[in-house]
Structure 1
Amino acid sequence: MPEINKHITLPKNVATGDDLDYAFLREKGLEYIEQLASDLWTDYNSHDPGITILEMLAYALTDLGARLEMPLENILAPEDEDAASIGEQFFKALQILPSQPVTEADYRKLFIGIEGVKNCWLKPYQKTVYVDCKNNRLSYSSDDFKDIDDSFKTEFQLQGLYSVIVDFDDFDPDEFPDEDAVNDGKERIYEEIKTRFHANRNLCEDLVDIMEVKTHPIAVCAGIELNPEADEELVHAHVLRAIDNYFSPSIKFYSLKQMLEKGYTSDQIFEGPVLENGFIDPQELKNAKLRTEVRLSDIMNLIMNIEGVKVIKDITIKDCNNPEDEGESWIICVEEGKKPVCCPDSAYSYYKSVLPVNVNHKKVDAYLDEMEKAAKAEQEQARFNMEPEIPAGRFLNTGETTTIQNDFPDTYGIGPNGLPSHVETARKAQAKQLKGYLLFFDQMLATYFAHLGKVKDILSVDNKLKETYFAQAVKDIKGFSELVSGYPENDDEALSDLLFSGLDNRVERKN
């Protein structure tokens, strides 16, 4: 069956019900006329001069509305090519949105941004102070007051003291070839943590202790059946990596684009301290806490989600700190302040159908190295383009306008052609009266357009602006000087001062 050609069609209903909808504005105008003047005004047809004026004003408003709907970069674009670009008119996101660390999550971000730190946790440091109220003495030891009656003793916890637990990245053996080099690397990280903490801490806060996270070994033993086409070495590499990340999650850095794709808004992305490495997902940071328990069901789900795994034939977990415990465990509680790690007693067996398959561990190591390099390369990309791209925009002179009077039919005699010379004086007077009446609307529209043209100056961080209300002279009216006197036709600044000098509180409106 031949494919039917699909044609683009215009919708029947194009009404928007806003300032872009001429029919909507005209209808609204008619409603107001009926409410205010229905006793005197009964002819609402297009030939009526009042309806013609309404239609002209509705058309002018659609022009203003269309300019308001222009891309913001075009509204803000400077007229002079040598003037400051849009990016120079405003504070950048990195300048105005971030803050110094305030919360625990902020400090964790600050420390995780240090090279070599995989994860870290900020904990309140518990320090008890004992008080001898009778003799006005303080001590850190309750034994100092053991002879004092209990009614004269009390105690309290010192506030504002913290300790940091650090989980280090694996040190590169080429850069850190021996234990001394690794220890030097850890000391460097400890010093950097201290420096960052003291550069950002609140008054009466201090860092008491920094320690490397201790480990709680857990053995995982599993028999796994693979799909016939599966690469057993690659599957094993994914299993090891998944379990390691479950035991001790790594904190990923994301680019601005990736964070926006995750659904975060700009203020959420730039909240707290900004790191050179990229952005951290706050939900992932919250979830990457020290585990208090390891669940067998979680590990089973991780393994089953790996491509190439068909079924788990057998799996157990065992607490290597309690080798005497022979029972099967579904949950192992992890000691407080420690992270679970895979015990050397862990063992994995792989099968294809009923046949066992051998795993080449050198090939597994190669896969793991490849995955690690790919992850690092992805992390490196996160540090680039950390600010939103600011479009250049195109100057379209959005503040420029002209009188609506020149759009009226010639029969009104108020356009550039005027009236024939032979008409009566009364007819000329009527035309001038109409021009004077319409001048009120012209000036209002010109003022609105003037404000639109000055938006880029009002919103700019440049503080040179002397006023926040603007006006511009109505242009292109034939015989304008016969309609109004004392009107600065060629000085918009003087006109603005004339109209708004008593209204413009610049400091209040700019802030």
Structure 2
Amino acid sequence: MKEDQPPPPLSFDALRAKAIAAAQDASGKIWTDYNLHDPGVTLLEQTAFALSELAYQGDHAPRDLLTTAQGIFDPGSLALFAADAVLPGRPVTLTDLASCLSALDQLERVFVSEGPNKGMVDLMIIPHDTVDPNAPRNRDLPSWNKTALDAVRARFEENRLLCTAINKVEMATPIPVALHGSLAIDTLALPERVIANAIHRIGLAFKGLLLNHTDQTSITGTTRGDVFKDPAAIWPKIPAGGRAGRPLDIALPALHGIEGLARVLDFELRDPGTDAIIDSPLQGRKATYYQPVLPITGQRFSLTAIRDGAPVQLNNDTLHEELGRLQAARITARNNLRNAQDWDVLRPGKSRHIAPGPIDAMLPAPYRIAERKTRRKGSLTRYRTMMDDHLQRMAQPVDQIDANYVAARQMDMTDPAAIRERITMLDYLISLQGEEMPGFDPATMHAYRSKQQQLSWAINWREDYLRQLPAFNRFSGTAHPQFGFLARLAHLADLQIGSAPTHEGLILDDELALPEPTIAPEDVILPIRPLDTFVVPDQSAAPLSLAKLAIACPWIIDGRIDPGDFIRATRPEAYILARNRKSDWDVLYQPVPGGGFYVCGTHRNRAKVNDWANRLRQTFITLHQQAEQIWCIEDITLRGNAGYFAPFQCTALIPGWTARTRDPSYRHYVTDLILRLAPAHIHVRPLWLCQQQMQVLAPLLLAGDTSDALRQTLSQMSADEART
């Protein structure tokens, strides 16, 4: 065997012999039993078998080891994840934003440049390469352009940072350019392949540059594929506009490194129509780039291959085939790099399925032969049974640890110790991600919840946050509708993302003239058992319609209610159950502690009356929760046709008339969250609205108004809040 060749893997028998010899040397004369029933021999055999199994697996292709017995590849069960899932990142630079936009299937690349104002960006789109001969004609259709532009705008809205917007987006137009010159090739090189590589590379070089910016603005553009192919190429950023010089200076470097190309004898770029030499960058306002023209069948191509000092006759059909092969290879590579599972796992091959089992299943076949049934079981069987029990006892704590560390699990909400342990564990798992749950005043946050609901909410709040934390981190500071800044703020503040302002329903009126309570405190007929006075809370009670609510509540007049009653009606201590003079049960509402009572319902059955009281309270709680929506209005989206806006400023609109949002401690908590979650360069101003202000804003918010009227309305409301 040569010295440079690795030794063959040891077999099971060879490993067993070496292990026993090593054990004998280590123990000396103490260990003299080398039979199968000896525990030391069994452990050595298992170790030797595990090592030989590793060698056996090493002889298989990765695709065989990564598939199940059914030939299915499940990366999640193997803890294997695609690179874009393991290393996500929000678009914080123009390069990052260009990468997100360029990942669209129908696009080759999207270049992003700074617009005329802070926060504004300009986009230039280059369609992707394709081998379809009808593609150029299809791209001229207005429907194709509209589809591509809409896809870019939609992707931009998902990934854009707060207070950024598109100034203009343009589809790039190719300008044909003819390649003239002579290329010396190696003796064994295929001329059509060398020329095709030259055309292909020069075309890519021109697509990597935006040549119409006279101010030499740096336009950055890169795809995720660029990161994997050559990470150094994007650091520093790809300065497309900065390199926009003479077209010849862009084309010549692209010829370096072509296999089979010896040297460039002469080379120039010409206009296909006039045959004039092109020596200056493209000028003009429209997004354009140079694109080499392809050889036409039957005509002599202007780019010549020289071999051994003589020109080589090129076959145009072969040249087109080579170009198609290069384009197809690049398209395939691009799609593979953006695949959800970037692994070479194909169906052919020997699929393997390795699952834990008893000791017998882990040993070679000769050692798995069952002993004959006799009056007395053999020692080997007893030993193996003992080992299985021992391993099961060892695995049991591990199973319990897995149950505690799982992201979501069923809980016994009646066990305070288990709840505290679960909350502590979730906080620990969240801290491992570099995050922590914010602290708040329970009395404020849980204004509508019972003690049992508070515990359940505390667990679900953490479990949902832990489950969504990777996405929250990936889209931190962006306007993503599901995981962006507003979504994260709404989750931590226990609010809803604004969708439909609930201005309809009860109207708060400070000057509402209420009728006097019908029952004085001293006239209340208390039941024989004092505990029957209290309402048994039931958070699952179905809310009432507004019509039934108005009939049941005498303090609601023409759809109007006093703000104090709107708050107090959500509290359980505001309702009691009492007898009336007919010996029926009444639901009594007390608007002021120590004051009189209103009768809200009557029934002979106390259970029916208790349910009615819960439905009354749950209706008011639902009205409060429906109103607690948060909106984020960026000033850059209100620029309209005027074009002026306050850069990096936005307003968080939050209703301030509910039981929870009126509390100063809750407002302080939300304001602190905004300061923590908003990007450092963006000023998010919280604006706590009264119900009348929301009634004014509701039509504008529902219509998606971006006119100056909404900006003026918000400015006036902010000024009014500052004065008060």
Scaled to the shorter chain, the TM-score interval is 0.3 to 0.5
Instruction: Return the structure number with greater relative CO, CA threshold 8 A, min gap 6.
Output: 1
